[in-house]
Amino acid sequence: MRIAAILTLSAVLSACSNPDETFCTLEARASVQVSVVDTKGNPQRDARVTFTLDGGAEQQALCNGSEQAQGNCDTWVTGYEQPGDYVITATSADGQRTARQSVSVTEDECHVQTQTVTLKLPD
């Protein structure tokens, strides 16, 4: 038992000492996290948030990171682990006010580098 523990510890320590090895987590990271506010900074939870990725078709962002119904969103997510060039659009619930921002999402060996965007709807 003691020999197995020593061998296991030895293998773990040798893996940690190799700077060329990359160990990735299994989590899925959001590509872009979006919040929508008015000009006073108040959250606009009933906004409609859409995006395009690399000039593709418009898609609806995920309310609170899931497929749940729109209307009470603290944040929106453009999807997970998708690098590229995004154009994100927020529209007020009444359709009268719009804000738009472009953002590029890069990735490393393991995950995208999540971008955080706050869109401010005009008065």
CA separation for the pair 116, 36 (Å, rounded): 11
Q: Rounded mean pLDDT of 58-80? A: 86
CA separation for the pair 22, 16 (Å, rounded): 10
Cα–Cα distance list, 72 to 33, 58, 68, 76, 93 (Å): 15, 21, 9, 10, 11
What is the Cα 72 distance to its own chain's centre?
18
CA separation for the pair 90, 57 (Å, rounded): 16
CA separation for the pair 82, 53 (Å, rounded): 9
Q: What percent of the chain has pLDDT over 90?
A: 73
Mean pLDDT of the chain: 86
CA separation for the pair 108, 98 (Å, rounded): 32
Structure tokens at 23: 């160990």
Residue 58 has pLDDT above 90, yes or no: yes
Asked: is 29-120 a CATH 2.60.40.1120 domain? The reply is yes
Specify the pairing of strand 48-53 against strand 59-60. antiparallel
Q: For position 68, what pLDDT does the model report? A: 62
Q: Which pTM does this prediction carry? A: 0.78
Cβ–Cβ < 8 Å for 101, 121? no
Write down the residue that tokens 């995006």 correspond to.
51
Q: Rounded mean pLDDT of 39-66? A: 94
Please give the helix or strand (H or E) that residue 95 lies within, else none: none
